[in-house]
Copies of this chain bind each other. A is one copy, B any other.
Amino acid sequence: MVKKVGVAILGLGVVGGGTYQTLIDHHDFYLKTQQVDLTVEMVLDKSTERLDALGISAEARAKSIEEVIANPNVDIVVETIGGVGAARAFVTAALREGKTVVTSNKELICKHSHELEEIARRTGCGLYYEASCVGGVPIIRTLLDGVQANHIQKMMGIVNGTTNYILTKMANEGADYAETLKEAQRLGYAEFDPTNDVEGFDSTYKLSILSSMAFHTKVPHTHIFREGITKVDGKDIAFGKELGYTLKLLAIGKNTEKGIEVRVHPTFIKSSHPLASVNDSFNAVYMTGDAVDDVMLYGRGAGALPTASAVVSDIIYAATHSDIKYSTFKNKATAEKNTKFITDFESAYYLRLSVADEVGVLAKMTSIFAKCNVSVVEIAQKGRASETSRVPLIIITHATRENSIKKAIAKINETNYAKVEAFIRVEE
């Protein structure tokens, strides 16, 4: 009862190359354990070098996407090109031809899954994208078929390896942002233009995909509040640590009766929280469901083979299942009618101020907080004034509205005895 299934790979970059290698190396293993004979029928890549490096035979080298989709032996098309130019056109063409598509492309799925799933539905083929989020970690399969009995109320993810690598380094070595970024670039953990990662765009794409699935309504990435890590000061990581907090770039999604809240920003979490020990380029998603309670999935969020694991697991799934489960948010480009997005969200806050080292300053400041309805959990003065007359003061607040804390900050900055130097959200 072995099923023969032909695969074409578009784009032999890191993930495409890893996918090719994984399929070749495991051919007999999948034959034995999955009763499927997976063969790579065609590969499309402009670079002769890459094709040569992987030893792709002449007849397997496609000259165009038309050639790929015209090949009757190709059942599944893997898209590992990235971006929304050629990738979008190629995936559209493949789906129209009734070829099932497996992609690792988060930007494509985030921005265009509604139109692509519409085509897939029409032609009766599948669209799989486990590899688009959190590398090899089977978070999408889990949302679809592992915790689907739950109202997912909250998800918090470390979904970008580059920023987690940088923040871990800064925490461990007390290094500053600029030098850590440089080292990350040198080691290949960050790209030459790191904007997409360090400004949080990459995380918003993934949060859009994951929260849309978890909350059963399209959550457009443009609705996601976004703040990157470029302004993170090593001092705050160190002060936070002393108070029992660890700084992570979190992708946070909440779904409550009040509405949906989605945001990506540097966040302090308790150092005892399972996410706090997710270090270096590891990623994790922590979710809370109304039945399952807390669940976390942890693993490598990037890399050739970990991501190939997700791509090939999707290929095997597509090859061995005839049932296709499309998104339950019904392929819309926008959120369901009546979905409310909360923008004035609530959070606890960490503030670092520089204050004049004088009697009475603390009293004046706490009265500003009180007037703005901000309740303070902890105040810690770090050292005394020496060279300058200002000392750092750390304040942790209870959960309060973002608008209230901003009012308090503005009022403090109007005084001549204190200034807010840093402002970081704190999550339970």
Contact = CB atoms under 8 A, between A and B. Distances in A.
Interface of A: 18, 22, 26, 29-30, 32-34, 130, 135-138, 141-142, 145-151, 216, 272, 274, 277-278, 282, 289-300, 303, 305-306, 308-313, 315-317, 320-323, 325, 328
Given A149-B316, A298-B298, 16 more contacts: A130-B146, A135-B292, A136-B292, A136-B293, A138-B142, A142-B142, A149-B311, A272-B277, A274-B274, A274-B277, A282-B294, A292-B299, A293-B299, A295-B298, A322-B323, A323-B323
18 contacts: A22-B149, A26-B151, A33-B216, A34-B328, A130-B146, A145-B313, A148-B313, A148-B317, A149-B310, A149-B315, A291-B308, A293-B299, A294-B299, A296-B297, A297-B297, A320-B323, A322-B323, A323-B323
A137 B142 CA distance: 9
A322 B24 CA distance: 30
A313 B146 contact: yes
A161 to B, nearest CB: 12
B289 A293 contact: no
Contact of A322 (B293, B305, B322): B322
A283 to B, nearest CB: 11
* Total copies of this chain within the assembly: 2
A142 B146 contact: yes
B296 A298 contact: yes
Nearest to A151: B29
A127 to B, nearest CB: 16
A292 B309 contact: yes
A47 B298 CA distance: 42
A353 B216 CA distance: 59
A427 to B, nearest CB: 18
Contacts of A313: 145-149
Contacts of A321: 321, 323, 325
Contacts of A308: 149, 291
Nearest to A146: B138
A300 B305 contact: no
B274 A292 contact: no
B298 A303 contact: no
A77 to B, nearest CB: 17
A149 to B, nearest CB: 4
A136 B291 contact: yes
A3 B293 CA distance: 28
A300 B295 CA distance: 7
Contacts of A291: 18, 22, 136, 305-306, 308-309, 312
Nearest to A321: B323
Contacts of A316: 148-149
B145 A141 contact: yes
A147 B33 CA distance: 13
A149 B26 contact: yes
Report which residue of A151, A291, A322 has the largest number of chain B beta carbons within 10 angstroms of its beta carbon.
Answer: A291
Contact of A292 (B141, B305, B323): B305
Contacts of A295: 136-138, 297-300
B34 A148 contact: yes
Contact of A325 (B312, B315, B320): B320
Contacts of A30: 149
A229 to B, nearest CB: 23
A214 to B, nearest CB: 11
Nearest to A22: B291
Contacts of A278: 274
A48 B282 CA distance: 51
Contacts of A151: 26, 29
Nearest to A311: B149
A233 B322 CA distance: 54
A292 B297 contact: no
